[in-house]
């Protein structure tokens, strides 16, 4: 007897197969909802760029059409990434002590959350984290520090450790060090960093509601410095901070315009002691809406890696497996200051879905 999640997965596959093999008409001879979403996916695959209205329609899709939306998202995901999943591993290399006032963050100066606070980890601990990342079958090791931007000493430490990690473990490196100057970005490129993470987090219009110590444009400038240095961009955002759906769509489109290669989609885990600690009650997210968010990001950014990031266990709950029909990447293990689920649960989900973990770039068929 199938479990509820297995039954839903089977239904999505059935919808994909139906759309691939037949044209579905309603009793009046018009277009059905299956056609509506399938046609949108086909237009995207043919080069169409989603409009604001089309992206909003994905977020507003009735729950009865959820499986059709996910089937459409999977058609796009399958074209560019097949049935592969890429794993990322986070290392909180410097915790707390941040002078910024980001309302969602447990490490900010305005946070009273009970978290570990320490300066940059030494080389031995960073290498040990890379060992764990490799053992967990991760493609990318993410070195993250809490800061407005890195000090010269921190840049030096990253520049020294990255070649050793790559030599010993063959991992790709993503650095998340805060705001960067062009010179700092170039140093990261020169030492072997593959991509830099710097999230937009929300739309430019809403950004002032979540942070006042730096601007949205500061973040965009960092991403442009990273691009100019020749590294890939990793940038996404957080859903559930009180923003409107239009803000989420604008963020997705800004990421498209910036050509971001890797997009982490977070669902706010409102941490006690932060200014947004009550946001999950005030602006509740349900698993079905979270799936529509992932589908929208896939349709707006068809060739980008979409990663289900923080909050997936809390907000997707038993529907986590369905997220992989739109996304092709997840974090394995814990997040910066919150726990993830055991890696074994992720491996089992990937296997049960008929997907496979990959390390290579060759799966991103971005022609």
* Closest of 74, 139, 86, 71 to residue 350, by C-alpha: 86
φ and ψ of 239, to 5 deg: -110, 135
Tokens of 175: 């650095």
Tokens of 189: 């490129």
Phi/psi region, residue 337 (left: phi>0; alpha: psi -120 to 50; beta: rest), is: alpha
Q: Please confirm, yes or no, whether 307 is among the known catalytic residues.
A: yes
User: Alpha-carbon distance 236 to 250, whole Å?
Assistant: 12
DSSP conformation letters of 13-50:
HHHHHHHHH---B-TTSSB-HHHHHHHHHHHHHTTPPP
Tokens of 170: 């063959």
| Annotated catalytic residue, options 102, 191, 211, 290 | 102
For residue 254, the tally of other CB atoms under 10 A from its CB is: 19
| Annotated catalytic residue, options 174, 176, 191, 211 | 174
Q: Which residue has the tokens 């050509």?
A: 259
Q: Please confirm, yes or no, whether 290 is among the known catalytic residues.
A: no
User: Alpha-carbon distance 233 to 253, whole Å?
Assistant: 15
Q: Please confirm, yes or no, whether 102 is among the known catalytic residues.
A: yes
| Annotated catalytic residue, options 142, 191, 211, 290 | 142
For residue 29, the tally of other CB atoms under 10 A from its CB is: 6
Which residues have CB under 8 Å from 29's CB, separation 6+?
none
| Annotated catalytic residue, options 176, 191, 211, 234 | 234
Whether the CB-CB separation of 113 and 146 falls below 8 Å is answered with: no
| Annotated catalytic residue, options 15, 75, 105, 298 | 105
User: Alpha-carbon distance 251 to 267, whole Å?
Assistant: 14
| Annotated catalytic residue, options 98, 176, 191, 211 | 98
| Annotated catalytic residue, options 15, 75, 307, 312 | 307
Whether the CB-CB separation of 355 and 324 falls below 8 Å is answered with: yes
Q: Please confirm, yes or no, whether 142 is among the known catalytic residues.
A: yes
Q: Please confirm, yes or no, whether 176 is among the known catalytic residues.
A: no
The residues annotated as belonging to the active site are: 98, 102, 105, 142, 174, 234, 307
């Amino acid at each position: 007897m199938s479990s509820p999640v297995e039954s839903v997965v089977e239904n999505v596959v059935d919808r994909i197969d139906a759309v691939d093999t037949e044209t579905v008409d309603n009793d009046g001879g018009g277009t059905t909802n299956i056609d509506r979403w399938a046609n949108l996916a086909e237009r995207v695959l043919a080069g169409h760029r989603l409009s604001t209205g089309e992206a909003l329609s994905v977020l507003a899709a009735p729950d009865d059409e959820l499986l059709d939306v996910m089937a459409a998202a999977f058609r796009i995901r399958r074209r560019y990434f097949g049935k592969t999943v890429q794993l990322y591993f986070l290392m909180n290399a410097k915790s707390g002590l941040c002078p910024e006032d980001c309302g969602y963050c447990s490490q900010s100066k305005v946070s009273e959350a009970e978290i570990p606070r320490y300066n940059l980890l030494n080389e031995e601990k960073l290498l040990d984290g890379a060992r764990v990342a490799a053992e967990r079958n991760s493609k990318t090791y993410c070195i993250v520090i809490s800061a407005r931007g890195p000090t010269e000493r921190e840049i030096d430490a990253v520049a020294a450790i990255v070649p050793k990690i790559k030599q010993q473990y063959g991992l790709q490196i993503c650095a998340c060090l805060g705001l960067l100057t062009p010179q700092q970005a170039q140093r990261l490129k020169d030492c072997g960093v593959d991509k830099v993470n710097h999230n937009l987090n929300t739309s430019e219009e809403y950004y002032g509601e979540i942070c006042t110590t730096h601007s949205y444009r500061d973040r965009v400038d960092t991403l442009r410095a990273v691009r100019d240095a020749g590294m890939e961009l990793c940038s996404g955002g957080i859903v559930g901070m009180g923003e409107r759906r239009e803000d989420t769509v604008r963020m997705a489109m800004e990421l498209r315009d910036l050509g971001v290669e890797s997009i982490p989609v977070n669902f706010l885990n409102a941490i006690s002691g932060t200014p947004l600690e009550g946001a999950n009650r005030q602006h509740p997210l349900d698993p079905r809406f979270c799936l529509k968010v992932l589908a929208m990001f896939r349709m707006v950014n068809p060739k980008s890696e979409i990663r289900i990031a923080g909050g997936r266990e809390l907000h997707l709950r038993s529907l986590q497996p369905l997220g992989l029909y739109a996304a092709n990447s997840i974090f394995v293990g814990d997040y910066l200051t919150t726990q993830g689920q055991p890696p074994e649960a992720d491996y089992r989900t990937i296997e049960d879905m008929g997907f496979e973990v990959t390390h290579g770039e060759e799966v991103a068929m971005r022609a």
